[in-house]
Amino acid sequence: MTADSDADSTTAPAALITGGRRGIGRAIAERFVEEGWRVALNDLEDTGLNDTVAEMAAGGATVSSHPGDIAEQGAAERLVHAVIDRHGRLDVLVNNAAVIRFAPLVDTDPADFEEALQVNLLGAFSCTRAAARHWIAEGRQGSVIMVSSVSAHQARPGHAAYGAAKAGLEMLVKVAAIELGPHGIRVNAVAPGGPILTEFVEPRAKRPGFEARVRATVPLGRMGEPGEVARVVFFLASEQASYVNGTTVTVDGGVSVGRP
């Protein structure tokens, strides 16, 4: 099967993952593919996204590319409708798209703060609303997983914009779970941390003393892998988590509990 095949069976479930070009988003996509799902990937950068889709399709995955900025007005509705048109259905939405910029509060540009809220929070809200409206109209069940962060739980210097957006995201999870639960729509979140070894973290991981700091602060004594987050996301999306609703699962090696 290829990325643009029209012969895809609509009986296989379909998942939409925003921010799916690389890192945790791509790992989540690969996990769903391993389980036989069809996957729709969204990202802001279309060239990198198309490369990711081509690589996954070359391995036999049924995956489609949907570039676009979910923070733009109306973009979320167009994205959800495009995925349904392409795959015939939507079963799971993973809100992973995020903007990460760290700066001291007094040095944070209001435009950067607003962008963090627009992408990390409003984008997730808009995608969730669009998916939920479709499921309710069709009388279908669905599942939404938000990718939050330990920054939603722990105050850290430089994390004013990012942490505020992620904290808001987790409250959105709770409210959405209450409102959408009666329709058979579950809403949950994962909060990675520790850190997770993504392309964003790799430059810091190469600095002298980084591994020693990780061993000193993370109870498991190591960084996490994107695939370890992806496995929790898939669990929350699956029938194994059919009675899990409105919760956040922290995936951080125990760092948010305390230091060893």
pLDDT at 203: 80
CB atoms within 10 A of CB 209: 8
Q: Which of 151, 158, 156, 152 is nearest to 106 (CA)?
A: 158
Q: pLDDT band for position 202 (50/70/90)?
A: confident
User: What is the greatest pairwise CA distance in the chain?
Assistant: 55
CA 75 to chain centre: 17
CB atoms within 10 A of CB 102: 15
Could you tell me if residue 6 is inside a domain? Answer: no
Could you tell me if residue 256 is inside a domain? Answer: no
Domain count, the chain: 1
The pLDDT of residue 55 is above 80: yes
Handedness of CA 37, 38, 43, 49 (dihedral sign): positive
The pLDDT of residue 4 is above 50: no
**Vertex 147 angle, CA 71 and 246, to 5°:** 105
Could you tell me if residue 119 is inside a domain? Answer: yes
Beta bridge partners of 42: 18
Could you tell me if residue 8 is inside a domain? Answer: no
The pLDDT of residue 51 is above 70: yes
The percent of residues above 90 in pLDDT, for the chain, comes to 83
The pLDDT of residue 243 is above 50: yes
Could you tell me if residue 51 is inside a domain? Answer: yes
| Least confident residue range of 74-88, 115-129, 163-177, 208-222 | 208-222
The pLDDT of residue 5 is above 50: no
The mean of the pLDDT values for the chain is 93
The percent of residues above 70 in pLDDT, for the chain, comes to 96
CB atoms within 10 A of CB 222: 13
Q: Which two tokens stand for residue 239?
A: 């029938």
Beta-carbon-side half-sphere exposure of residue 179 (alpha carbons within 13 Å): 12
Residues belonging to the active site: 162, 166
Instruction: Give the CA distances from residue 148 to residues 69, 117, 132, 152, 251, in Å, rounded to whole numbers and listed in that order.
Output: 19, 13, 19, 7, 10
- Alpha-helical (H) ranges within 75-155 are 75-87, 110-116, 123-138
Could you tell me if residue 31 is inside a domain? Answer: yes
| Least confident residue range of 140-154, 161-175, 197-211, 232-246 | 197-211
Cα–Cα dist 113/138, whole Å: 37
Q: Which carries the bigger pLDDT value, residue 199 or residue 9?
A: 199
- CATH number, residue 133: 3.40.50.720
Give the range of the structural domain holding residue 170, as residue numbers without chain letter. 14-251
Does this model's pTM top 0.85? My answer is: yes
Interstrand relation of 63-65 and 92-95 (parallel, antiparallel or unpaired):
unpaired
Could you tell me if residue 257 is inside a domain? Answer: no
Could you tell me if residue 7 is inside a domain? Answer: no
With a CB cutoff of 8 Å and minimum separation 6, the contacts of 25 are 17, 18, 19, 41, 43, 94, 96, 97, 147
